[in-house]
Structure 1
Amino acid sequence: MQKTILIVEDEDILREIVKDYLLNEGYEVLEAADGKEALALFEEHEIHLIILDIMLPELDGWSICRRVRKSSNVPIIMLTARVDEDDTLLGFELGADDYVTKPYSPPILLARVKRLIESRYRSTENVLNEDTLSSGGVHVHMPSRTVTVEKEIINLTYTEFEILTYLMHNQGIILTREQLIIKIWGYEFTGDDRTVNSHIRNLRQKLGEKANCIVTVVRSGYKFEGNL
């Protein structure tokens, strides 16, 4: 199935460059030059990934990310010309899956798109390990990427899901923040440890009473303990 990418970027030249790269890779592309147009397209079409600029007319990227996350866990890559680390953390706290700072290399952006798409929508034949992970009242169905806590489905972003399943696959083993960054974002990621902390905090909030399954090991990292 052909995947549809929504590019939300008010700079026409940048939008066209990214569009051409995506089209050449076989993706279907929708474009929006402002926030209101972006939300309208999101509501009208099945979108598989959003490339979202922060500084936009009408509605900024923060607002769009908030609204999308109320109903969808579609992967979101945020684009920004700002280099403030707090801005990056805010994006992740709102549910963004990746963050690219302008100016950026279109091939690098494309590589991140492909990584998110392939991992998020991989077929059941390509799912590694067991189809179901269960521990401590947390249940994960890998093919459908469905997470339930005490029989209630919780809505995780792509990145939160990847972190949870990586921890659960390595239950009882301490995983450093560096290991998590390399596994989830790759070697080229330019963020810092606070990025991991932010996602873990969001994940714990969604796990509710089972939040204590994710254990912080001081000066080391995190581990999953389902028997707590």
Structure 2
Amino acid sequence: MKIYLIEDDLNIGQALLSVFKDEGHEVVWVRMAVDAVARLQAEDFDAVLLDLGLPDGDGNEVLKRMRAAGLTVPVLIITARDGLQDRLKGFDNGADDYLIKPFEIPELLVRLRAILRRSGAQGEAEALWSNGTLALEEKRMRVTVDGTAVTLSKTEYALLLTLMKQSDRVLTRAELEKRVLPYSDGATLDVHISNLRKKIGDGHIRTVRGVGYMLQAERAT
């Protein structure tokens, strides 16, 4: 999948760039509204992630120009503007979905896949990750241990999914904080890991002292 990311925030942009590349997607990231539509007309993209508060203009104007130019690529707005009128304006201008910051990465990925399915742009197979008795169904955002469903918070789910997808290596604290807790000062990472361990049981997540965390030796599949 080729994604066009229009986002001026460096931390959010870098986090999304890292996540999408790990997912195997191609990403073009720009931070300004200028020439955004011209780039879309010159290249084929599967989806657009569009921030509304851009330094040189309003994302809504970019969206209106896109639709006026006949571009039908699916657009997911990502913004801190949470008012009803803001959401209605985004949809009226041609957005396919609207996600309010701060958001969790797994929710963004699910919403992105949903607008692609609605547009007919992408077929999708179920992604199942497992580690011993622990299983995660990515499409359904469902986690089970020994076949019994486990209820996780959005952050706990995001941490577990990230660890399972990168099960062959240690993920540093900085990596996990950037991918899963981009709006946090990092002080809560240990708390989330501790809560996650309590819910899924011991023996799945290993602490690598002074570095970070990884799954235990039995690899995810």
Give the TM-score category using the shorter length: 0.5 to 0.7
Query: How many residues in Structure 1 have an aligned counterpart in Structure 2?
Result: 124
Distance across 1 between alignment mates of 2:26 and 2:48:
12
- 2:11 is equivalent to residue 6 of structure 1: no
Amino acid at match of 1:35: A
Q: Which protein has the bigger helix share?
A: 1
2:93 corresponds to: 94
Counterpart of 1:63 in structure 2 is 61
Identity %: 30
Q: C-alpha separation between the residues in 1 aligned to 2:21 and 2:110?
A: 14
- Counterpart CA distance in 2 for 1:12 and 1:122 is 29
Residue 118 and residue 22 in structure 1: after superposition, are their counterparts in 2 closer, same or farther (change >3 A)?
Answer: farther
Larger-gyration structure (1/2): 2
Question: TM-score, normalising length from structure 1?
Answer: 0.51
1:108 alignment counterpart: 107
- SS for the counterpart of 1:103 is coil
Q: Which runs of 5+ in 2 are unaligned?
A: 126-221
Deviation by residue 1:116-165 (Cα, 9 ceiling, x = unmatched): 22442146xx9xxxxxxxxxxxxxxxxxxxxxxxxxxxxxxxxxxxxxxx
Aligned residues of 1:76 and 1:96 also touching (Cα < 8 A): yes
Quote the Cα distance in structure 2 between the aligned partners of 1:43 and 1:72: 8
* Alignment correspondent of 1:16: 14
CA distance in 2, matches of 1:122, 1:42: 19
Contact 1:35 1:56 in 2 (8 A): yes
1:79 to 1:122, Cα distance in 2 relative to 1, 3 A: closer
Aligned to 1:205: none
Q: Output the aligned Cα RMSD.
A: 2.2
In 2: Cα distance, 1:122 partner to 1:51 partner: 16
| In 1: Cα distance, 2:13 partner to 2:122 partner | 27
Q: What displacement does 1:37 show?
A: 4.2
Q: Name the residue aligned to 1:76.
A: 75
Deviations along 1:156-197, one digit per CA (max 9) or x if unpaired, are xxxxxxxxxxxxxxxxxxxxxxxxxxxxxxxxxxxxxxxxxx
Distance 1:40 1:72, change over 3 A: closer
Q: Which runs of 4+ in 1 moved over 4 A?
A: none
